[in-house]
């Protein structure tokens, strides 16, 4: 999945939303650089890695070719056409309108039928939430939607699911959404809220709806009738490995349903997939689905191995083994961030960051609040001064005396070490 015929179609705002030009946030480190090994050439990569890279390259070239063919038939619509709340200048390449439903597969093969988003959803989509069709021939491909919190990732996924499962026959019947337990009910509310009237509603099942004894029955019903199944990370991990299920036969049935049941796997708060050896990651990778979609609101930065784990989940093997990734990207990128890094180290860091961004931009989409900046009212800051109570003043003065702020005894080093402890103490005094 990526742009065009994939789940996410980039808007003009996409390039402005990444933290750096190359989509990899670099922060300076205090540690001294290490001597790293020679960066292996692409020709030295494993055969499976080269095959995955070739598939993505061919897909991107196919999309580019089709886009040129359809460019004269497509029209650019501005924010007013897609939604009354879109920011000025944000545009996406679409055909159709909100009344009949936007066509998502503008870039399509000759003779391929147009796929429309249900009108009830089209009228509410913003430009940065534009979706594209997941082609049946692109099985096994996944994507990462790395939008900041508040940009409507949940609604965007719901729009995609209704389009892919109701507006066109792609053979996609079942969806498994794994999410933190505290937002399970929010997902169900969102499905109820955004149900379009033009198509049959998607059935939504939730593990918490039944007792432990009826879990296998609920999963079997979901597989038979199709729809969306909501489950928390811990429950998914435990049930995938047969934990907390007394009967072995029942444990196998549940495990089989979770691993073989879904056509699409959606992982909310996917930054939790940050260790390839963790039980949760291992359980998720056992799911034999056609597509994997990872949602994260956190910036993809700082820890490149956590970034690798998330990418490897949606496109297993695309970045090679963890050893190959460290050699090709992590080590040279981190080696250019130290206080004693040379000019050549920084140059190599920038080159490797750019190469990594270019390889991933087809299926990793990052956006921040700048895409809706003009939709929001001007920021107003209110500063309200509140006098301390007599008890608070007494405690505050006592804090200053104990830590030596009143007589100048406090050293800079000691102050730095006790900063957070002091902050927490003052937060208790002044709240």
pLDDT digits (tens, 9 = 90+) for 347-378: 989 999 999 988 888 888 888 787 788 777 88
- pLDDT for residue 266: 94
Tokens linked to 27: 């922060």
- pLDDT for residue 342: 84
Rounded CA-CA distance 394/228 in Å is: 58
Of 327, 7, 239, which Cα lies nearest the Cα of 142? 7
- pLDDT for residue 127: 72
Below-70 pLDDT ranges, the chain? 1-33, 66-96, 106-109, 130-140, 298-302, 404-418
Q: What is the tens place of the pLDDT at every residue in 77-126?
A: 444 344 444 333 333 444 667 777 887 776 666 777 777 888 888 888 87
Rounded CA-CA distance 226/165 in Å is: 10
Q: Is 140 left (phi over 0), alpha (psi -120 to 50) or beta?
A: left
Strands (E), 117-252: 143-147, 174-179, 204-206, 227-232
- pLDDT for residue 244: 80
- pLDDT for residue 72: 54
């Amino acid at each position: 999945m990526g742009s065009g015929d994939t789940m996410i179609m980039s808007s003009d705002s996409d390039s402005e939303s990444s933290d750096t030009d190359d989509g990899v946030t670099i922060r300076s480190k205090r540690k001294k650089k290490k001597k790293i090994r020679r960066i292996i050439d692409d020709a030295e990569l494993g055969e499976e890695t080269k095959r995955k890279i070739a598939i993505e390259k061919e897909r991107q070239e196919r999309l580019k070719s089709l886009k040129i063919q359809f460019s004269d038939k497509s029209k650019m619509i501005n924010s007013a056409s897609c939604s009354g709340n879109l920011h000025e200048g944000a545009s996406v390449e679409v055909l159709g309108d909100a009344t009949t439903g936007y066509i998502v597969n503008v870039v399509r093969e000759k003779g391929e039928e147009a796929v429309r988003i249900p009108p009830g959803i089209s009228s509410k989509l913003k430009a940065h939430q534009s979706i594209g069709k997941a082609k049946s021939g692109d099985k096994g491909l996944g994507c990462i939607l790395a939008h900041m919190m508040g940009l409507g990732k949940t609604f965007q996924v719901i729009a995609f699911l209704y389009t892919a499962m109701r507006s066109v026959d792609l053979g996609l019947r079942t969806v498994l959404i794994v999410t933190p337990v505290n937002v399970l009910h929010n997902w169900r509310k969102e499905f109820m809220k955004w149900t379009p009237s033009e198509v049959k509603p998607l059935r939504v099942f939730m593990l918490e709806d039944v007792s432990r004894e009826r879990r296998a029955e609920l999963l079997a019903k979901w597989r038979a009738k199709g729809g969306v199944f909501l489950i928390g990370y811990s429950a998914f991990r435990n049930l995938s490995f047969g934990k907390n299920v007394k009967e072995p036969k029942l444990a196998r049935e549940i495990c089989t349903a979770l691993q073989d049941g879904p056509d699409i796997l959606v992982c909310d708060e996917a930054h939790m997939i940050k260790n390839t050896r963790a039980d949760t990651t291992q359980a998720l990778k056992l799911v034999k689905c056609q597509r994997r979609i990872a949602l994260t609101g956190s910036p993809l930065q700082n820890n490149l191995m956590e970034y690798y784990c998330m990418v490897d989940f949606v496109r297993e093997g695309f970045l090679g083994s963890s050893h190959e990734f460290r050699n090709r990207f992590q080590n040279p990128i981190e080696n250019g961030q130290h206080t004693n890094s040379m000019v050549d180290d920084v140059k190599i860091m920038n080159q490797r960051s750019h190469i990594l961004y270019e390889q991933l931009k087809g299926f990793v989409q990052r956006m921040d609040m700048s895409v809706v900046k003009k939709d929001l009212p001007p920021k107003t800051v209110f500063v309200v001064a509140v006098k301390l109570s007599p008890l608070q003043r007494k405690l505050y003065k006592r804090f200053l005396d104990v830590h030596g702020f009143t007589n100048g005894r406090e050293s800079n080093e000691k102050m730095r070490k006790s900063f957070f402890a002091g902050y927490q103490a003052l937060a208790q005094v002044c709240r």
